[in-house]
Amino acid sequence: MQTATRFLVNPLPAPTLPPLDLVDDLRHRRLIAPDAQFQTLYGGRTNKVWKVLEGNGGKVLKLYRTGLRNPLFRNDAELEARCLTALEPTGFAPRLRAAGQHQNGRWVFYDHAPGTPWRKDTTDVALLLGKLHGLDVSVPAPRGCNGGADLARHGQSILDGCTSAMRHQLEQLKPDEQVQPTQQTCLIHGDPVAGNILVAPSGLTLIDWQCPAQGDPCEDIALFVSPAMQHLYRGSALTPEEEDQFLSSYRRADIVTRFKSLRRWYAWRMAAYCLWRIENGSPDYATGLELERAVLERS
């Protein structure tokens, strides 16, 4: 959820600098130059991220916040480091340079990926996710939700943390489709929103690998097409034409068919998550909640 340029919903906070002892540690390790400068990167909703300004294209320092309990998006620095290491040969993930522990939390240090956040052409994103889901890589990631029963439990656990009257309205919209788990699991990104996909002349790069899983590829598809996530990170939901283009370009008809059978479950869980965010101080999720409810009601 972090990189140089993102769609911004709220005014920018004041720039910050990394902890001085962490900067000294990076200098001692010769990861940064003695006179390195730091630029705060905005757009992420969880961690503190800086670009290290150097003559060789720059690096990114991400300092993970601790104590956060997000019910949908994991925030695991070790998993990000493992994924970046495993995916370095693919060319669509940043190259990891180092990772470590600081008193304020874990950190990762990797090459700054060129490009700007994705805005249009869903074909390229479909091909990127299809390539990821087809990889034979071994990353000890946790198991993701798989099938309707898993999504029902996960969505209800999120709603159990909500207290407003909307919780009961969403419980009444709970889907009843029975969709069995798939045996065709793979490494999934877990957060392929528009802000985590960088577009450059050299191709697309997936950043922010802090919540991957060994799971159903439909999870990544659902998160990308989610109208709430598109609204938050791009400013608008996909049009029907953009969504159709994405699904047809994914080139795995069996997985697309499975996603469609699970779509209402994913929308229901996302609506629950939007409500949880609203109740925990993020009113900008209100439009996303209504967009996901619309998917539930029209489906």
Please state the rounded mean pLDDT for residues 42-64. 86
Task: Output the pLDDT for position 146.
Answer: 98
Amino acid, single-letter form, for residue 93 = A
Q: Convert the pLDDT of each residue in 181-237 to its tens digit.
A: 999 999 999 999 999 999 999 999 999 999 999 999 999 999 999 999 999 999 999
Interatomic CA distance for residues 45 and 196, integer angstroms: 12
Task: Output the pLDDT for position 46.
Answer: 80
Q: Assess if residue 9 is contained within a domain.
A: no
Domain match, 26 and 148 both: no
Q: Give the pTM.
A: 0.93
Domain match, 131 and 185 both: yes
**Is residue 1 predicted with pLDDT exceeding 50?**
no
Domain match, 177 and 268 both: yes
pLDDT band at 123 (very low <50, low <70, confident <90, very high): very high
* Lowest mean pLDDT segment, chosen from 61-75, 133-147, 153-167: 61-75
In sequence order, the 6+-apart residues with CB closer than 8 A to the CB of 56 are none
Q: Assess if residue 96 is contained within a domain.
A: yes
H or E stretch including 37?
strand 37-40
CATH number at residue 29: 3.30.200.20
Mean pLDDT of the chain, nearest integer: 92
Q: Assess if residue 177 is contained within a domain.
A: yes
| Domain-ending residue, one of 84, 113, 142 | 113
How many structural domains comprise the chain?
A: 2
CATH number at residue 188: 3.90.1200.10
Interatomic CA distance for residues 157 and 221, integer angstroms: 22
Kindly compute the dihedral angle of the four CA atoms of residues 235, 60, 41, 211, in this order, to the nearest 10 degrees: 50
Please name which of 1, 66, 12, 64 lies closest in space to residue 39, comparing C-alpha atoms.
12
- Domain containing 28 equals 20-113
Please state the rounded mean pLDDT for residues 290-295. 97
Domain match, 128 and 262 both: yes
